[in-house]
Amino acid sequence: MKRPLIVLCGATATGKSRLALELAQRLNSIIISADSRQVYREFDIGTAKPTQVEQSLVPHYLINICQPAQTLTLAQYQEQANALINCTSCVIPPLLVGGTGLYIKSIVRGLKIPRVAPQPELRSQLQTLGQGQCYELLHQIDPMAASKIHSHDQVRTLRALEVFYVTGSPISQQQGESPPSYPILQIGLDCDSISLQKRIERRTQKMIDFGLVEEVERLVQKYGWDLPLLNTLGYGEIKQYLQGTISLQAAKAAIILHTRQFAKRQRTWFRAYPEIQWFDVTSPHFLTKVWSNIQNFLDKSRA
């Protein structure tokens, strides 16, 4: 029997972590995080990282594996996640849980990712040329990649150039998909916009009550104001408050707004994948419906 995998995905604040904890305990399984910020140590409250108590109930992996000043590449994430999936029991499916669409896609679609580490010095040299010239360079060396990258997308343009100059081969020739052979059940969590708004508001207030401001203060004292992670959702707004440019109430309102915008982008991303089976977290007997779906999936996997 091939090892099955269960994926829990969806927008932020839809209750993925809570559901994963319940399901993992029922299945006696593990949780593999698919969250691009929970990999970093010390960034706890603002990333809605599972608490120590929650992590003690079920083994959690790919959480707290990087220092805040480090960078975890998609290729590194994929390699570590695949290693965990492949070393688990063939009978018990691991749970891949999170809202970082590219992390999940790298696993379920088997993305082929060039194993090229970031090259800061090369990127700095390319940036001095300006985005216009960099994009023109990309057109010359890899027109296929350029056709898929917006002319103003500096991050992807630099990455494509970086891969070419390090390997001597266009990034478009090194990409593609090689889906895994094991069965995968993808469960998406969602709810109506009004319910999601209320969930985001409650979660934001909970983060502040639990010490988000104090967490950002500690991080600033240890790493300074310029740490890139301190510009991400939840941290950037509180950083503005600590710098005295906005009030705490304004910071809270900004976090709610930006979280809503982020959730909208997540929903758009995941809705593009027809293999995801969607469940409304506010519907009656939500957990029962999800559990029944999982049982059916496991029965078919064992057949």
Reduce the DSSP state of residue 3 to 3 states and report it. Answer: coil
Say whether pLDDT at 296 is over 70: yes
Query: Torsions phi, psi of 190, nearest 5?
Result: -155, 170
pLDDT for 216 equals 98
Q: Given this model, what pLDDT does residue 116 score?
A: 86
Geometric angle at alpha carbon 195, from 269 and 53, rounded to 5°: 80
CB atoms within 10 A of CB 296: 11
pLDDT at residue 163, rounded to an integer: 94
Burial class (CB in 10 A: 0-12, 13-18, 19+), 13: buried
Share above pLDDT 70 across residues of the chain, in percent, rounded to a whole number: 98
First and final CA of the chain: distance in angstroms? 8
Q: What would the DSSP string read from start to end of 21-72? A: HHHHHHHT--EEE--TTTTBTT--TTTTPPPHHHHHHS-EESSS-B-TTS--
Q: What per-residue confidence (pLDDT) applies to 92?
A: 83
In the structure, what pLDDT confidence band is assigned to residue 90 with cuts at 50, 70 and 90?
A: low
Mean residue pLDDT across the chain: 95
Domains of the chain: 5-111+178-302 (3.40.50.300), 120-173 (1.10.20.140)
Residue 201 has pLDDT above 90, yes or no: yes
pLDDT tens per residue across span 170-200? 999 998 899 999 999 999 999 999 999 999 9
Q: What pLDDT does 3 receive?
A: 80
Query: Is the pLDDT score of 241 beyond 90?
Result: yes
The pLDDT-based confidence of 115 (bands split at 50, 70, 90) is confident
Q: 87 pLDDT band (50/70/90 cuts)?
A: confident
